[in-house]
Structure 1
Amino acid sequence: MTSLIFGKDPIDSAISKNLRKIIKMRHQIHQYPELGNREFKTSKLVADHLLSLGLEVETDIAYTGVVGVLKGNKPGPVIAVRADMDALPVTEDTDFPFKSIERTTFLDKEVGVMHACGHDIHTSVQLGVASVLASMKRSIPGTVKFIFQPAEEGAPPGEEGGAELMLKQGVFNNPKPNAIFGLHTHAGLEVGQLGLTIGPAMAAVDHFIITIKGKQSHGAYPHKSVDPIIMATEAVDAFQTIRSRSLSPLEPSVVTVGIIRGGERFNIIPEQVHMEGTVRTYNTEVQDMVEERMNTILEGITHAYGGSFELKYDRGTPATINDPVLSRKMIPTMERVVGKEKLIMMDPVMGGEDFAVFANEVPGVYFRLGVVKPGTTSGWIHTPKFRADDSSLEVGIRVMSNMILDYLQSSID
């Protein structure tokens, strides 16, 4: 059972009044997940709740994004808090009574849809924070801007989306925040634990698409071909030398080929092979080096075999850097809420997050929320067995509400 807090603290009191409703909304969001730029039901649920709290609400930002503005009765700075709303093309395999059985079409394939990255928790926590702070409006010194973002996992092909499009459409205008907070579920932390990385926290995310072109032939006559499969396999091997031989061993980076497609029949050497993958880095000079080396490797291999190539290299989400000064400023708040021993200082990871786009504009803090109920297990994020417990909502709401109020109060002291 999820515990309810009945304390004298106004935040705790507000949580006790709203938690059951927030849990119910979390179940609804989880049971009916939606992919990026298609979060229509989720967006409406969010907007309706914010309006019911008396916030100023703007909708249809970056397709389905929602922004709610809560103006306190006292003057002060502006703090933004962001939650992402989109789900993933994953078929859920949990024992939740509210598990998703939704299906949709993604990249011309029928797929399941699941909140396999915890965005239902992110959205629900932020709705809870809005409920808590709206009840305390008279004592809030400043303004809170609640940003509910679509398409963090990426927009559909041919569409813009996510944090970048929200910024382009003016989400940081009128009023512009002085700082921004965000959180992400963590399948390696128990409910009640938090994770924080000061400084570089999550990597830049680049996406590459390669077409290796050869000459088609019968499989029994390979000498008549220019075999793109041979060229592709050599390229995959050679890409790994970028990390091991071209870059400093102290410089974090990843080069991963995730897709190789080629051929139509077992006895035909195809004309071309499609390759696709990701590069993760923290340093723009390393990004430059990786892209340059990929071009050089592909040029050398294809030239040696008599083929050719096309490389499309897309620099996507930048690295997420937690502002060191602001991060250290918020540590006492986090420790006060969960206990010093439950705030875990974490190493940087090679995963990416477009919260970075916001944090490049104003100082930001992005922390991890433990979601695994003690005594249970969860699959990792982006897997069918990812299982975030309802009890993490209470912790997330308490932590974020306290962080926001402490930031606003400290900024005017």
Structure 2
Amino acid sequence: MRKLIYILTLFTFGNIYAQSNIKVNEKAPKINITNWIENIPNDKNLNDKYIVLEFWATWCGPCIAAVPHMNEIQKEFNQKDLYYISITDESVAKVERSLKRIEFKSIVVTDLTKETQISFGDGIKGLEEYPLTVLIDKSGTIKWIGEPKNLNSAIMSKFLSNGNTENTDFDLKKNVSFKEQKQTFDFKELMSNKEVKYYFELQETESTETSKQAIGTSIITLKSYKLADIYNDILNIKNDQLELPETIKDKRFDLIYKNTEEPKNLNFLENDILKKLNLKKQTVFKTTKVNLVSIQDKSLLEETFEKRFSAKSDADDKIVFTAYTINNTLVELSNVSSVSFKFNGKNETKYDFIIGIKSKNDIISSLKSYGLTVEEKDIKIEHIKLISEK
């Protein structure tokens, strides 16, 4: 079989940004609103208003984390001719779901046409960087562009007095903190070639910049993953259940995997990894305390509206899960906490969750709000020892 050509478009934090249409001290594009959702003003005319325009999304953890700060700014600077507008391009139903759990003091709106995101973004596809705040004065001129966390009292005071906000050199390409975590693949032949049902490639790498993309378990790409992390994130085997040879513990690997015939059977993937690395697997079962999670009230579970991608995003003391199964959510929660959570059942439906992670009780309380109960139990857990074969 001839070698398949692939190009990966990776999850990005930091320095890759689309060209923006907007600049400080230039006229702001039109703000198009298709739905007024929360804190709707009596006067919907945006002319002759100071506007704090906040671009956000329900799946964006940093956007959710910025809400309390923006609420405080609004509390300090609150006048009739000043509108705080939080705008997204998502459906009303999706936005209203988040509003049940996150309190916005701002005017919450959506533009389902995406015209606002496009005109404030790259002019073609839209805005790729979130969260983003734009200050627009009464004349419709942009006076400040930046991250909401950097908007402070001094900037707001100068903005409302028509003073210089000292933001004329702001560069979107350097200052926006979060890029949308969509799964975008361009290894075209591997994706489109129907004859290729199975593909596996594992290569050691010197890079330490990790990234992950997945379409269910049928196509998975990992960059700079340690073997323990592959077992943790993909095979659902926690680090305390896995023993590795010292010679391989700190090595990092790039993985490309496709299995469209039996995507849920990850034994093929594990066997290929073991064969590639010359490892032998020994399995024992040990009794371990786990937090067993069960569905108590299914009506409280919020099935996702998102059909394009799954995403996990940090929001300070919370994690925002978009289009995640219960099991995958619990795996991620186990990874970030000092305790193990395991789903007591089978359910492949994808849901949206906002889970507090300050403590075990915070996690349990969040799960309870979605109709999930947690019970600590002793159960037998698989423990794996990998041995190098000479």
Give the TM-score normalised by the residue count of structure 1.
Answer: 0.22
Higher helix share: 1
Higher relative contact order structure (alpha carbons within 8 Å, sequence separation ≥ 6): 1
Give the TM-score normalised by the residue count of structure 2.
Answer: 0.23
